[in-house]
Structure 1
Amino acid sequence: MIESSMAIFVLLGSFFVFILIRFPIAYAVALSSILCLLYQGLPLTTVAQQMVKGISSFSLMAVPFFITMGYLMGSGGISEKLIALANACVGWMRGGMAMVNIVSSYFFGGISGSAAADTASLGSIMIPMMVEQGYDDDFATAVTVTSSCEGLLVPPSHNMVIYATTAGGVSIGSLFLAGYLPAAILAGTLMVGSYIISIKRNYPKGDKFNLLNLFKQIAHSFWALAAVLIVVVGVVGGVFTATESAAIAVFYSLIVSVFIYRGMTWKGVWKVLDQCVNTLSIVLILISTSSIFGFLLTRLNVPSLAAKAILGLTDNTIILALLLNLILLVLGVIMDMAPIILIATPILLPIATSIGISPIQFGIMMILNCGIGLLTPPVGSVLFIGSAVGEVSIERLVKAILPFYLLMIITLLLLTFIPAISLYLPSVFM
């Protein structure tokens, strides 16, 4: 028992030390795992075996395809069309450009699946546009970075694929469907907050609502939005697997970007593929090194020990659900999204299911928790991207985001205590 406890201490203690001294997360995971293996006297060949095993999954083949699809569509000239569509829907309201920003993120999230891509692509257009129309630059940037988290929930999201693979036995199609309503509720709460702030600061309204213009913009955006339909309808309808749908979506995105919208040349395609390889290499390294870490957690019985420890604190399911969210929020402050999903899922999912939280619902909760983490210093990547794009200091931006943090926490609590928000669509269509 003492031997096992010391091995756990070596694994987790060294991991957090490496995190605190700002090691890259993949190195921190790998080195702490190697130290634990050495302490236990296990052969280092286990490292190579588990790394290969971690990425030898058919489901994970969807991840590079979805990343490529997001880059192709994001660079193919569709951002302006989605902004125009959102403007036709909600631009007439007080603070209309903030509403356009939020709704654009919902549409764009279904194409990129990435909060960082959303912030970089839409932010470079929306933030200068909002500032020009009289909005404060910190408010415009805060709206951009917080609404980008909708893209994590709206399918197709490669983070959902990573969660489904890590959780084991969770339907990717059900997860895709489960994200729509939570993302819509997140968008709604952000719009309410933006509307209140816009009234207080007397931000301008847009043009009056025009039904004919709305239909016109829907027609212009049809080819972009159809990519999402191909993936979701194909997977939910059982026409093809998530991996097959992702491959088809990449081919479709290439045709739309180059030949229909003509926002990209063949030279641009090669540049996009280069960006995809860079991103994918990071994701696959994280998955492979986390596989070693997960192997050791399981071997040392950490998930069951953690479950007993947490469940031993109280038998109140409400407090336990809040505690799960608190753990994920704290992890989000010090770690990036993919490592949290890979490391925390095997530990926290059994606790969630023991108090009646469905694996699908917990997956949505985890993704939103991680999304909030992307907006918090010191490692909030989306926060830093927004600061750079909006040319706003981190201090000013965090201050501007404070009311939006509250709105996102409210949305998180709704998802936690009203399971139907996440589970209704999967129960109907799956």
Structure 2
Amino acid sequence: MNLKGLSLQEQDEAIEEIASSLNIPKKYIHYDFTDTPYFVIQDRNYQGNNRLEDEDRLYIEDFDFKLLKKYTLFFIECDIYVYFCPTCIDVDTPHAFRFDGCVFYDSIVFDYLYLSIQSFIARHCHFLGDVDICFPFENDSCFEYCYFEGWVNFTNAIFKKDISFYGSTFNRCPNFSKTRFGGNINIINTNLDFDFFQTEEVIVSKWMEDSIDLDIKTHLSFVANDFRDSFRIFKNTLSKEGNLLDASNYHRVELYCKEIELDSKNPPILSREWIDRWQLFFYRHTSDHHTDLLKIISWVIIAIGIFGFGFFIVKYYQDVSILSYLSPYGVALSLAGMVCLGIFWVMGYIKKLFLFAGVGLISTLWIACYKPTLIFGAINLIDKTSRSGLENFILVLYTLVMILLLFSLQKTARKNSIVPS
């Protein structure tokens, strides 16, 4: 139906049909033709972003989805209790969906790929059930300032224009596997910046729910791979927009998923997947996959400190008189520094990583004062100093670890190489 230029009689007839379908009084429906003509379903006491009291909100418990074939509806401050599934009836191409300040108490399902949505506009909405939308979106759409409490699935969805999730909160990690973005995506101020343990918890939870509810004996690696594909798509889309810094954060979560996937496969020792698994483990702990500069600097200092302390212990067992070369003032300052670090850690002022980095820094300063060339590792093997086999082994092991750490340090520090090409 062409909504433009409806006569008053046609408006009244349409309002009568909508009210009957939704089982609500006609006084809550009015016709708006200022921009794109649509019918607004709202309480007349609506005050913009100020939510109404529960007793004043509109309850939608019936919905004939054939309305969507005839009218564009705009729901404002409504509590929707129906299982929102327009694909359960024959609707060729629904009009745009618009919701503001609504609460969905049941699931939303749009899962027929041969249908399409003109646009889906939702702002300040609360989705208590699952959201499963796999339609093509023809025009700009948005889910801004929304809260998604259940699972969110956009698998195979096609956003032909721009899509915005600005300011939205996802209680569970969304699935955007095989989603295509034709325009820009706005995911600023969302909570999609998961750490490793949050990512692992979400993947395992989804795997267990699928196994119980759907009786699908899917391997955990398949679920992890789906979530990895979601963050890969985010990364690639943001990279194309030139947003390299945010893209690097989603690449980091993508690598979390890859590590969880490899770990679930339990690959044979020394196989390619086994090596990849431990490489991901190493870079996650040392630099959070080249995104945390302070963390990798701390680990470089810790590595030097551990090496220095270990080298000193070996020297001490070979010659106890080495203690006579130590400055008593240096020993006192070192002990005082370690006591202060311990107090700061116990009081919660510093994290455990920085506690070890502080101790490592003290050890590094001792090396710098007495024999700074030791910091360069295996280079010391070419001088004429006589060393035991254990000392040479420590130098070689330290050098290999430092090569990995320094590679991660330079990659983390170089802004243009955060996101892989």
* TM-score, normalised by the number of residues in structure 1: 0.18
* TM-score, normalised by the number of residues in structure 2: 0.18
Answer 1 or 2: which has greater strand percent.
Answer: 2
Q: Which has the larger radius of gyration?
A: 2
Answer 1 or 2: which has greater helix percent.
Answer: 1
Q: Greater RCO between the two (CA within 8 Å, min separation 6)? A: 1
